[in-house]
């Protein structure tokens, strides 16, 4: 087996998905309130969020790739070959998204008040990395070894939405339009990954989208 080719989904993969969802739901319902109590936007809150995501989102993927798929993690996640192409595609798409947002919302206003440790270390420069590794890098590729890529992309996007549900419900943010938007974003990121053949394109575009949504044009 090539050191970058994943095995088709098996029992271990199913257990991973269940454990992943259970661990994240437990964090959102029982531990996240304590993280929020540190103060939204504080360095302590941001650092705690990053530490939790490293343990719950990133470490299990690397363990699965090493011990179940027996592949080189960085290569399997499409973080090595084609990284220059991925960075270029991500940067170009981010620039197009910025232009479209400027045309729709106008020039950003009062940005300084929204720049905090939380907004910069969270949605701006880490969420893309933390979410793209398990979803596009691992889950989507894993499903695509068993089925048509686009069906795998639909299923991955449904799973992606499912992982957001505990947070939305606990924060009273659940709404059908939000579900549709997050599903669409996930599907588009899957398509970008498919055509760019690099996870870097998704990471950069994901971070750019969140930065614009939560910092530059928040509330507009």
Q: Hey, where are the domains in the chain?
A: 11-216
The pLDDT of residue 183 is above 60: yes
Q: What's the average model confidence in pLDDT over 170-181?
A: 92
**Contact, 180 vs 167, CB < 8 A?**
no
What is the pTM for the complete model shown?
0.94
R_g of the chain computed on alpha carbons: 17
Find the helix packing angle between 83-105 and 199-211, rounded to 10°: 20
CA-to-CA distance for 46 and 30, rounded, in angstroms? 17
CA-to-CA distance for 220 and 214, rounded, in angstroms? 10
Find the helix packing angle between 176-196 and 149-170, rounded to 10°: 140
Question: What letter would DSSP give residue 109?
Answer: -
Q: Return the higher-pLDDT residue of 119 and 103.
A: 103
Q: What's the average model confidence in pLDDT over 76-80?
A: 97
Q: Return the higher-pLDDT residue of 116 and 99.
A: 99
The pLDDT of residue 17 is above 60: yes
Q: What's the average model confidence in pLDDT over 34-59?
A: 91
Mean pLDDT of the chain: 93
Q: Return the higher-pLDDT residue of 35 and 134.
A: 134
Q: What are the C-alpha distances in Å from 153 to residues 143, 147, 149?
A: 8, 10, 6
The pLDDT of residue 1 is above 50: no
């Amino acid at each position: 087996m090539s050191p970058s080719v994943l095995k088709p989904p098996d029992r271990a993969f199913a257990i991973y998905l269940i454990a992943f969802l259970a661990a994240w739901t437990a964090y959102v319902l029982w531990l996240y309130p304590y993280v929020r109590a540190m103060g939204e936007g504080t360095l302590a809150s941001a650092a705690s969020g990053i530490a939790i995501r490293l343990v719950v989102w990133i470490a299990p993927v690397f363990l699965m790739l090493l011990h179940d798929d027996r592949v080189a993690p960085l290569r399997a996640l499409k973080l090595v070959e084609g990284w220059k192409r991925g960075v270029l595609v991500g940067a170009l798409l981010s620039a197009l998204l910025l232009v479209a947002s400027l045309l729709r919302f106008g020039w950003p206003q009062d940005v300084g008040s929204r720049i905090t440790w939380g907004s910069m270390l969270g949605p701006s420069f880490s969420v893309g990395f933390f979410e793209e590794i398990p979803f596009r890098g691992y889950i989507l590729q894993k499903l695509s070894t068993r089925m048509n890529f686009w069906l795998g992309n639909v299923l991955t996007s449904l799973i992606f939405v499912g992982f957001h549900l505990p947070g939305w419900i606990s924060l009273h943010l659940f709404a059908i339009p939000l579900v549709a938007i997050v599903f669409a974003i996930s599907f588009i990121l899957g398509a970008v990954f498919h055509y760019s053949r690099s996870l870097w394109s998704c990471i950069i575009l994901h971070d750019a989208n969140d930065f614009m949504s939560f910092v530059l044009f928040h509330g507009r």
